[in-house]
Chain A
Amino acid sequence: KAGVTQTPRYLIKTRGQQVTLSCSPISGHRSVSWYQQTPGQGLQFLFEYFSETQRNKGNFPGRFSGRQFSNSRSEMNVSTLELGDSALYLCASSLDVGIEQYFGPGTRLTVT
């Protein structure tokens, strides 16, 4: 099976812009989670989707949003970008809760 894929791999945006990141889970996986990884804060949970429903949300401002499509592909959107949003954004997929979660390669977002 193909692994988790994310596009784009790299992005450079300026403050105030918005960005959309995409994640395609492993075939058959219905749960997709998003994480922000920074050197200072480690891996922080953003949200999780299962069958197009957001089931869990981390402590991030409303500028961070996401959605999941019927084919389990997921997108996350960040509006009004701030310098502090520069990070590696990772998505991970799993069959369901409480079981193995597999990460994609990440999208490195740089906000200038």
Chain B
Amino acid sequence: GENVEQHPSTLSVQEGDSAVIKCTYSDSASNYFPWYKQELGKRPQLIIDIRSNVGEKKDQRIAVTLNKTAKHFSLHITETQPEDSAVYFCAASEGNYGQNFVFGPGTRLSVLP
């Protein structure tokens, strides 16, 4: 089955700096890769996603890149702000029959003022 690894497990950056979180997946059949942000005590919220036919996607200060050959994808947050502090989860899904998201273990991002 699919296995998703995520690094780093914790990340501290200064406000205004960039943050990068990397994930690798094992199943070459996976074709949908969402990123979720979970603030303390709240539900995970979808912040950006990418499909296997696209190499990069941007939405304001966040972007995701996908390297299918190497089976890894990354989340990039630029001009970080204190409200970006949260746990970020990546996930991979084959999506051919039924939803079966496999999540990475999460990265705790702290943006220091």
Contact = CB atoms under 8 A, between A and B. Distances in A.
B12 interface: no
* Most chain B CB within a 10 A radius of its CB, from A33, A97, A106: A97
A98 B43 contact: no
Interface of A is mostly: strand
Sort chain A's interface into a size bin. Answer: 20 to 34
Contacts, number: 68
Contact of A56 (B89, B98, B106): B98
Given A42-B106, A43-B89, A106-B43, A101 B34 contact: yes
B102 A97 contact: no
A31 interface: yes
A109 B101 CA distance: 22
A21 interface: no
B89 A97 contact: no
A31 B99 contact: yes
A98 B106 contact: no
B98 A48 contact: yes
Interface of B: 31-32, 34, 36, 42-46, 49, 51, 89, 91, 93-106
